[in-house]
Structure 1
Amino acid sequence: MSIVTNQNTARLSSSDDIDERKFVVALARGLELLRAFRPGDILLGNRDFVERTGLPKATVNRLAYTLTTLGYLRFDDAAGKYALDTGVLSLGFALLAGADTLELARPHMRELAREIGAAVSLGCRDGLDMIYLETIRSETALTLGLAPGSRLSMLTSSMGRAYLAVQEPAAREALLKEFDDAPAVDAARRAIDDFARDGCCYSFREWHDDVNAIAAPFRDVRNGRWLVLSSSGPASSMGEAYFRDTIGPKLKALAARLA
């Protein structure tokens, strides 16, 4: 059972091993308020927080006040809304500064992006989403690529499917049960079958009508977690065969090197 009630934004699921005696619900709700901000959001009001978290308005008011006092939110008097403040930025920099794998991966990702003419990204799991840690766009071609901090569904993204493919069967099934989109779950299962055959997962025109993508996971032994490399490009100029036959082997080789 999810601790945070909104099914669209909840980051904790029944698949997580939670000791409720140690779990601080108030802290989880405060963090969920911060997670309500999405790429491109600058200001959010109390109504936005309520809609995105499912929390009562009175709870949102108290949490927003506390986060503002601590420097994680800033209240804009003119707009009557909140913006993320420097406390969040310092946490993000602390995470990235300690991510040795990200520093190691960047030059290799840049070289691969230049070679294949497509964007190359690195991401990890965040709840039921995948979050982008870095994206390197090709310098030689017009390519797509989401910015760091962007999120994609675990079901429809190649990155999320690759993450699911390397989980233990019981853990994977528990995650899939969290989704109520049967067609997307079926598509994710087919992608997991692709991984068993090809060692990578695909998302061809599924996340977006003109986006093809491929992903390969690897184990970050430094931090004990799974990371995923992905590559994406416009489907109109980069067909499925190019991703399977050209990008796939190179992406898997880079994942193996980083592991």
Structure 2
Amino acid sequence: MTLPSTFSAPLDERKFVVALARGLDLLRAFRPGETLLGNRDFVERTGLPKATVNRLAYTLTVLGYLRLDETHGKYALDAGVLSLGFALLSGTDTLELARPHLRSFAREVGAAVSLGCRDGLDMVYLETIRSDTALTLGLASGSKLSMLTSSMGRAYLAVQPPDARAALLAELKKAAGKMGGMLVAQAEKEIAAFATERCCYSFRAWHDDVNAVAVPFREPREQRWLVLSCSGPASSMGEEVFRENVAPRLKALAARLGELG
């Protein structure tokens, strides 16, 4: 079992509950846009034995975190997972503070603006607001993007301590497979530029027609790193627009919400 690298302290095996971690692995197996997964999917994505998957899926179903679709013989996420998500969002004071600023920003820039945080080797969107004229791809709350290819992920990596960042990049390289070396090199280039730019860009790296910029800031109450990002169609919002217009505005917004990286 591959453990998510969200916990930076050394692992204390005496306190670590392997069964709980395996159950959470099943829930994490769902990807954005997927509604049903079968036992074979869980086995392939978690590396757990089929018998273990069967027991975990049954337990999660009883507890209300999974729901068995008997017609297809597969599982869907159930209301228990949704309630956990709402608990996270309702407990994030910064999100409530940020929403009116995000709306104004999206309207003024004519693009989509998002607030996100780390989730394992991905970045998860806590909120996304689009202007009425924004033509970018629609990523909603709960959507995830890889740290390697997204401006949000690169910005998060840029403010991590060197040792922690190196460990994360090694995991990301391994997870990306054959493309890992190239993707890490591209990300490291943007991370190095953060020292002078104070933001990270992603020009057509995540999608052929999406440009983006992201700025990290430390949340005042919990002192965790959150990231603001703005994305728009590369066909109408080129690199110059992001560097000269969008990035300075996004930095100013991040400074109003917390401590800049």
TM-score range, shorter chain: over 0.9
Quote the residue 2:63 is aligned against: 70
How far does the alpha carbon of each residue in 1:15-68 deviate from its partner, in whole angstroms, 9 at most, with x for none?
653211111111001011011112211111111111221211111100000000
SS at match of 1:177: helix
Which letter maps to 2:182?
P
Higher mean alpha-carbon deviation, 23-32 vs 179-188, is at 179-188
In the other structure, the counterpart of 1:158 is 151
How many percent identity over aligned positions?
Answer: 75
Alpha-carbon contact 1:120-1:137 (below 8 Å) kept? yes
Answering whether residue 25 of structure 2 is matched by residue 32 of structure 1, we say yes
State the AA in 2 paired with 1:164: L
- In structure 1, what residue type is equivalent to 2:203? F
The equivalent position to 2:52 in structure 1, one of 55, 59, 62, is 59
Whether the aligned pair in 2 keeps the contact of 1:116 and 1:247 (CA below 8 Å) is yes
Deviation per residue, 1:159-213 (Å, 9 max, x gap):
0000010111111111111123111111111101221111100010111111111
Counterpart amino acid of residue 226 in structure 2? L
Say how many residue pairs are matched: 252
Q: Which amino acid aligns with 1:175?
A: L
TM-score, structure 2 length as denominator? 0.93
For the 8 Å contact 2:6–2:119, the answer to whether it is kept is no
**Conserved? CA contact 2:155–2:227, under 8 Å:** yes
Residues 1:128 and 2:127 are matched in the alignment: no
Q: Identify the residue that residue 114 of structure 1 maps to in structure 2.
A: 107
Deviation at 1:14, TM superposition (A): 9.2
User: Residue by residue, what CA displacement relative to the aligned partner does 1:228-250 show, whole Å, maximum 9, x if unpaired?
Assistant: 00011111111001011100000
TM-score w.r.t. the length of structure 1 is 0.93
* Shift, 1:112, TM fit: 0.4
Unaligned runs of 5+ in 1: none
Q: Look up the SS of the partner of 1:254 in the other structure.
A: helix
Structure 2: which amino acid aligns with 1:186?
Answer: A
The unaligned stretches of length 5 or more in structure 2 are 175-179
| Matching residue of 2:82 | 89
CA distance in 2, matches of 1:89, 1:189: 35
Q: Which runs of 4+ in 1 moved over 6 A?
A: none
Give 1:181-220 correspondences, 5 Å limit: 181-220=180-219
Shift in Å at residue 11 of structure 1? 2.0
Alpha carbons 1:129, 1:153 under 8 Å: kept: yes
